[in-house]
Structure 1
Amino acid sequence: MSDRKLTEDKFDNRLTKFAPFISPNPVTSFNPVQRYPKIDKTSFISPFSSVIGDVRIKDNVYVAPNAAIRADEGTPFYIDSNTNLQDGVILHGLLKQFVTVKDKAYSIYIGNNVSVGHDALIHGPCYLGNHTFIGFKAIVYNAIIGKGSFVSYNAVITNGVRIAPNRFVPPGADIDTQEKADRLRRVTEEEREFAREVQRVNQEFPASYKALLRYSANEKQNANILN
């Protein structure tokens, strides 16, 4: 057997073994009704990742490996179109604590064209406006991030603060008062372009990974026919 065939077989077996965990929430005293995720068919949920409970994922969303979207305590979650949640991102929320968007309560609401970088923690109650960028290992908890804002790596935003639209949060910043939030400068065009480029790259992934999985399945079927 060729090295290429061995590699393809191993690749296909791993994809089957490590499919994403997509499940309703468990029945508990505080969430007694099971609710299933609703995921648009054009989105892609990677192997090793989890989507649990009342989670709505709109079109062309990319969820990278090892992401955890867990609406088993705080609920519901909403993730709008063309958003990407990168490797190791965690979404979780506190029980019965909400943000309100268009007269509806959410534990976590993420707008469209949002990028959430590797290992970031998004903990409800919180809101991420359209076109926001959340950097590596940043923490957003009990906060509202305005449209087009740029949160740098290792930054922490909490204590109910509201970040105005198009504001820049520096690397490692601890934004835990409204006074600190109000002093943030505006996003530069260079920073905005960086966020746009991250979006451009990640918006290709849902369709590309779906094509890759179809290719792998077809190759396996063809191999079986030939054998």
Structure 2
Amino acid sequence: MKLSKIPKDMLNIFVHFIGPNPSTSFNPCSICPTVDSSAFIGPFSSVIGDITIKENVFIASNVSIRADEGTPFYIGANTNIQDGVILHGLKNGRVISNGRKYSIYIGEGVSCAHGCLVHGPCKIKDNAFVGFNAIVFNCIIGEGAYISPNAVVTGGVRLPDNRFVPLGAVIDTQQEADALPTLTEAQQEFTRDVQNVNREFPLSYSVLFGSTRCSCGLACNTNNLLNQEY
């Protein structure tokens, strides 16, 4: 059908929320997110509080990134946060990166797959993969690590670089973390494929939804879409 046949109020459906955290006794300063212009935030996602989102980050639909308790958050360049992912942090827990304290620090080229939970204090180093419905909480995930679907990493562990967490495993001691196998070449290739696919999404979705957005988060630039067939 033609978009010109859809009522205009139905065109502005690509809504997300970007705003400051509320002032509380434990977090009295309201701070707005800092989002690079090349990043994309999808429909019905929320980004709240002191959050830094770097270049070419892709945040899919129905994502909740809420720095209203634990704060600040950092999301590095070329990272993808897929549909239904939740980021939140405890008010007292912190990790350290580059000499600064964070509730959640996510490095560059990280993939947080559909439905996973990243809860601070937590640090995920570059090029790691957090699988579907996995939970990472109170831990440090090493560079290039692969966390399988429905797995849990917690207990203050430091997951070494390039380690593989099996499907549904619970890793909550350092001994268990150190005993994990290293990634196979096939697992590394899968991680690279996911990253490469998602690196193309920020620009392409921005073009599709319209590059001009109101402060309310609506994709209002529909002039080039009205006469296209769909």
Fold equivalence (TM over 0.5): yes
> By how many angstroms is 1:30 displaced?
0.8
TM-score (norm 2): 0.91
Residue of structure 1 aligned with 2:112, choices 113, 116, 132: 116
Which stretch shows the higher mean deviation, 130-139 or 94-103?
94-103
Larger helix proportion of the pair: 1
Report deviation, 1:102: 1.4
Q: Residue 217 in 1 paired to residue 213 in 2?
A: no
Q: In 2, Cα distance between the equivalents of 1:86 and 1:53?
A: 20
- The percentage of aligned residue pairs carrying the same residue is 54
CA distance in 2, matches of 1:83, 1:181: 24
> Aligned-pair RMSD on alpha carbons?
1.8
Amino acid at match of 1:74: G
What is the alpha-carbon distance in structure 2 between the residues aligned to residue 213 and residue 186 of structure 1? 40
2:14–2:42 contact (8 Å) kept in structure 1? no
Q: Partner residue of 1:105? A: 101
Determine if contact 2:104/2:119 at 8 Å carries over to the other structure: yes
Contact residue 134 and residue 149 of structure 2 kept, 8 A: yes
Check conservation: 1:82, 1:203, Cα contact below 8 A: yes
State which of 4, 10, 18 in structure 1 corresponds to 2:2: 4
Contact (CA 8 Å) 1:15, 1:47: kept in 2 or not?
no
- How is 1:6-21 mapped onto 2 (pairs within 5 angstroms)? 9=6, 13-14=9-10, 16-21=12-17
Match of 2:215 in 1: none
Between the aligned partners of 1:50 and 1:88, the Cα distance in structure 2 is 11
Aligned residue-pair number? 219
Specify whether residues 15 and 161 from structure 1 end up closer, same or farther in structure 2 by C-alpha distance, changes over 3 A only: farther
What's 1:23 paired with? 19
Amino acid at match of 1:68: S
**Partner of residue 207 from structure 1, selected from 203, 206, 210:** 203
The CA deviation at 1:43 is: 0.2
The structure showing larger relative contact order (alpha-carbon pairs under 8 Å, at least 6 residues apart) is 2
CA distance in 2, matches of 1:4, 1:54: 40
Unaligned runs of 5+ in 2: 212-220
Aligned equivalents of 1:58, 1:18: Cα separation in 2: 21
Find the partner of 2:178 among 179, 182, 189: 182
When normalised by structure 1's length, the TM-score is 0.92
Q: Deviation of residue 222 (structure 1)? A: 6.8
Residue of structure 2 in register with 1:127 after alignment: 123
| Contact 1:37-1:54 at 8 Å conserved across structures | yes
